[in-house]
């Protein structure tokens, strides 16, 4: 009886699984996704760091000083380059200029990647730096010291409500033109005309870290930075595309080992110039000792030279770094960018019109004010030594006339300064003040005249003026 009552009053509940649920590890900072990961437009680590700081409503300096630097265990990031005993903050003082290394191949980039991956629990932040090529790239000519940006990219992203960031490709020194807008990158804020470090106390992608103004500008075909000569544009398009392909390649392929460069150079020599190193050195416009060093792994190829070699022998940079086999083309000499950055072909001498040049020189001999010979040569687009060789009398006359004019000008300037100083001295004396050099300098309009010179002669012989320092 008792048991039947019990069975009526008791409810039956669903069974519970008491096995504890595994909770994924929590990250200390947001697991912010990098922009453009896996593409050639991936963002750089300094850009990621400033966006990560902003996501936590912090400045990069506070994020670095309070969270990242203590984990890195490097005093210099905590002090920001300040003298011991002074109150220096992270990224303060002159340390901002070293921030470029955060995006580079070295130990600084490695420290930042380790700490940021640990705090965000991401494992892909190495692709935001040049670490994938740390064994093959030398630091020389690799990183751009200060920030560079395409104002049109910023403007376009803002108009389309996209996230503003800085691609890794902008940190390469060889990249000077935006691939998408075919305009030159900017290196100075167009409001305060200052250069900016890659990471400063208050860096925000798209904004100046000195004056906080927006760095984007509209697309204008008449803007002076839009005018890029065809050959330079062709070269820059090739550089930009090659680096983007290389950035994409790094996400799928293992990092190239140190021996890779020597092997690839040997392959180029074998196929582009029948294994003859001298001929290859000549083809790329470099000394044979330099090429020998590269071929035998004694020295590393700076990236500017590497890009020019690849362009010269028509091999893609990604093939050079990653492919086991590639076929460089044997290239005949023709005027393209050589490894040294200058054209290797000799220019055809321009015809020399003696009569016209002489007439131009005679006219310039009467010009007022007279030109120096350097200016004359520039105006005629002829080498100064060439002019002296063919028209010695005329050139000497032009030079002497200019020298005389300079002497007259100097004397005039000197007399004016003497007058000013005497006037200032007597003013001070009449007020009962001793006319020291500093007091006199403060009164006259151009105090720098006190230590200046014109054509190597001191402007003011102070001993003559009896003024003490
Ligand atoms: Zn752009
Ligand atoms: Zn500014």
Q: Are 152 and 183 in contact (CB under 8 A)?
A: yes
State the ligand closest to the CA atom of 211. 2
Query: Does 159 share its domain with 291?
Result: no
Query: Does 225 share its domain with 368?
Result: no
382 found inside a domain: yes
16 found inside a domain: no
Query: Does 320 share its domain with 450?
Result: no
Q: What is the Å distance from ligand 2's center to 279 Cα? A: 50
State the ligand closest to the CA atom of 214. 2
Q: What is the Å distance from ligand 2's center to 214 Cα? A: 8
State the ligand closest to the CA atom of 212. 2
Q: What is the Å distance from ligand 2's center to 17 Cα? A: 61
pLDDT tens track for 304-351: 999 999 988 888 899 899 887 777 665 544 444 444 444 444 444 455
321 found inside a domain: yes
State the ligand closest to the CA atom of 149. 1
Q: What is the Å distance from ligand 2's center to 97 Cα? A: 16
State the ligand closest to the CA atom of 192. 2
Boundary-marking domain end, from 301, 316, 345: 345
Cβ neighbours for 427, distance < 8 A, ≥ 6 positions apart: 443
Q: What is the Å distance from ligand 1's center to 179 Cα? A: 7
1 found inside a domain: no
Cβ neighbours for 131, distance < 8 A, ≥ 6 positions apart: 104, 105, 109, 110, 113
Query: Does 234 share its domain with 304?
Result: no
Query: Does 153 share its domain with 250?
Result: yes
Q: What is the Å distance from ligand 2's center to 215 Cα? A: 8
Query: Does 301 share its domain with 375?
Result: no
Q: What is the Å distance from ligand 1's center to 181 Cα? A: 4
**Pairing mode of beta strands 453-454, 457-458:** antiparallel
Q: What is the Å distance from ligand 2's center to 32 Cα? A: 28
Query: Does 202 share its domain with 335?
Result: no
State the ligand closest to the CA atom of 183. 1
19 found inside a domain: no
Q: What is the Å distance from ligand 2's center to 151 Cα? A: 13
Q: How do the residues of the chain divide into helix, strand and coil, expressed in percent and rounded to 5?
A: 50, 5, 45
State the ligand closest to the CA atom of 217. 1
Query: Does 190 share its domain with 265?
Result: no
State the ligand closest to the CA atom of 189. 2
Q: Measuring CA to CA, which residue among 125, 25, 29 is closest to residue 71?
A: 29
Q: Are 370 and 401 in contact (CB under 8 A)?
A: yes
Per-residue pLDDT tens digits of the chain, which is 469 residues long? 444 555 567 888 888 888 888 888 889 999 999 999 999 999 999 999 999 999 999 999 889 888 998 898 877 776 655 555 555 555 665 566 678 999 999 999 999 999 999 999 999 999 999 999 999 999 889 999 999 999 999 999 999 999 999 999 999 999 999 999 999 999 999 999 999 999 998 899 999 999 999 999 876 655 656 678 888 899 999 999 999 999 999 998 899 998 999 999 998 888 888 888 888 888 888 888 999 999 998 999 999 999 999 988 888 899 899 887 777 665 544 444 444 444 444 444 455 677 778 888 888 888 777 888 888 888 787 888 888 988 899 999 999 998 888 888 878 888 888 888 888 889 899 988 888 888 887 777 653 434 455 455 555 544 445 544 4
Boundary-marking domain end, from 311, 345, 379: 345
Query: Does 413 share its domain with 377?
Result: yes
Separation of alpha carbons 174 and 228, rounded Å: 15
What range defines the domain where residue 285 resides?
A: 256-345
State the ligand closest to the CA atom of 193. 2
State the ligand closest to the CA atom of 154. 1
Total number of domains constituting the chain: 3
Q: What is the Å distance from ligand 1's center to 214 Cα? A: 15
Query: Does 250 share its domain with 332?
Result: no
Q: What is the Å distance from ligand 1's center to 38 Cα? A: 19
**DSSP one-letter code for 163:** P
Its sign, for the CA torsion 364, 370, 376, 379, is: negative
8 found inside a domain: no
Query: Does 199 share its domain with 171?
Result: yes
68 found inside a domain: yes
The radius of gyration computed from the CA coordinates of the chain, to the nearest angstrom, equals 33
Q: What is the Å distance from ligand 2's center to 195 Cα? A: 8
Helix (H, G, I), strand (E, B) or coil at 167: strand
Separation of alpha carbons 411 and 201, rounded Å: 51
Q: Please report, for the domain that includes residue 307, its CATH number.
A: 1.10.260.40
Q: What is the Å distance from ligand 2's center to 210 Cα? A: 5
Query: Does 224 share its domain with 81?
Result: yes
Q: What is the Å distance from ligand 1's center to 216 Cα? A: 10
Q: What is the Å distance from ligand 2's center to 92 Cα? A: 17
Q: What is the Å distance from ligand 1's center to 220 Cα? A: 12
Boundary-marking domain end, from 199, 227, 255: 255
350 found inside a domain: no
Give pTM, 2 decimals: 0.66
pLDDT tens track for 230-268: 888 999 999 999 999 999 999 988 999 989 999 999 988
Q: What is the Å distance from ligand 2's center to 163 Cα? A: 21
């Amino acid at each position: 009886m008792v048991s039947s009552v019990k069975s009526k009053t008791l409810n039956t509940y669903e069974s519970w699984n008491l096995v504890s649920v595994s909770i994924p590890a929590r990250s200390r900072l947001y697991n912010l996704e990098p922009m453009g990961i896996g593409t050639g437009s991936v963002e750089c680590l300094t850009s990621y760091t400033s966006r990560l700081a902003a996501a936590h409503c912090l400045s990069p300096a506070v994020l670095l000083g309070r969270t990242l630097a203590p984990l890195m265990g490097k005093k210099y990031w905590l002090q920001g380059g300040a003298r011991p005993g002074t109150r220096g903050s992270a990224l303060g003082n002159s340390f901002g200029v070293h921030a470029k290394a955060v995006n580079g191949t070295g130990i600084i980039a490695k420290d930042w990647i380790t700490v940021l991956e640990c705090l965000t629990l991401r494992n892909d932040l190495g692709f935001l730096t040049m670490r994938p090529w740390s064994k093959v790239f030398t630091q020389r000519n690799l990183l751009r010291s200060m920030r560079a940006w395409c104002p049109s990219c910023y403007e376009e992203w803002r108009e389309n409500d996209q996230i503003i960031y800085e691609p890794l490709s902008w940190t390469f020194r060889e990249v000077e033109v935006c691939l998408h807008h075919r305009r030159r990158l900017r290196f100075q804020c167009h409001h305060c005309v200052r250069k900016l470090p890659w990471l400063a106390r208050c860096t925000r992608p798209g904004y100046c870290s000195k004056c906080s103004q927006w760095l984007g500008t509209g697309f204008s075909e008449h803007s002076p930075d839009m005018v890029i000569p065809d050959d330079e544009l062709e070269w820059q398009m090739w550089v930009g595309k090659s680096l983007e392909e290389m950035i994409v390649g790094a996400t799928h392929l293992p990092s190239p080992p140190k021996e890779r460069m020597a092997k690839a150079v040997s392959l180029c020599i074998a196929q582009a110039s029948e294994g003859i190193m001298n001929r290859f050195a000549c083809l790329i416009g470099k000394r044979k000792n330099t090429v020998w060093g590269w071929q035998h792994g004694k020295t590393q190829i700076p990236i500017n030279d590497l890009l020019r070699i690849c362009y010269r022998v028509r091999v893609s940079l990604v093939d050079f770094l990653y492919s086991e086999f590639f076929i460089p083309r044997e290239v005949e000499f023709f005027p393209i960018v050589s490894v040294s950055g200058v054209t290797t072909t000799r220019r055809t001498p321009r015809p020399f019109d003696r009569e016209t040049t002489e007439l131009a020189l005679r006219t310039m001999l009467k010009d007022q004010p007279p030109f120096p010979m350097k200016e004359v040569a520039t105006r005629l687009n002829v080498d100064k030594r060439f002019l002296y060789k063919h028209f010695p009398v005329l050139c000497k006359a032009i030079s002497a006339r200019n020298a005389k004019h300079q002497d007259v000008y100097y004397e005039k300037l000197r007399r004016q300064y003497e007058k000013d100083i005497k006037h200032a001295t007597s003013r001070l004396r009449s007020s009962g003040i001793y006319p020291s050099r500093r007091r006199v300098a403060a009164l006259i309009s151009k105090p720098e005249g006190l230590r200046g010179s014109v054509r190597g002669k001191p402007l003011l012989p102070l001993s003559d003026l009896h003024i003490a320092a």
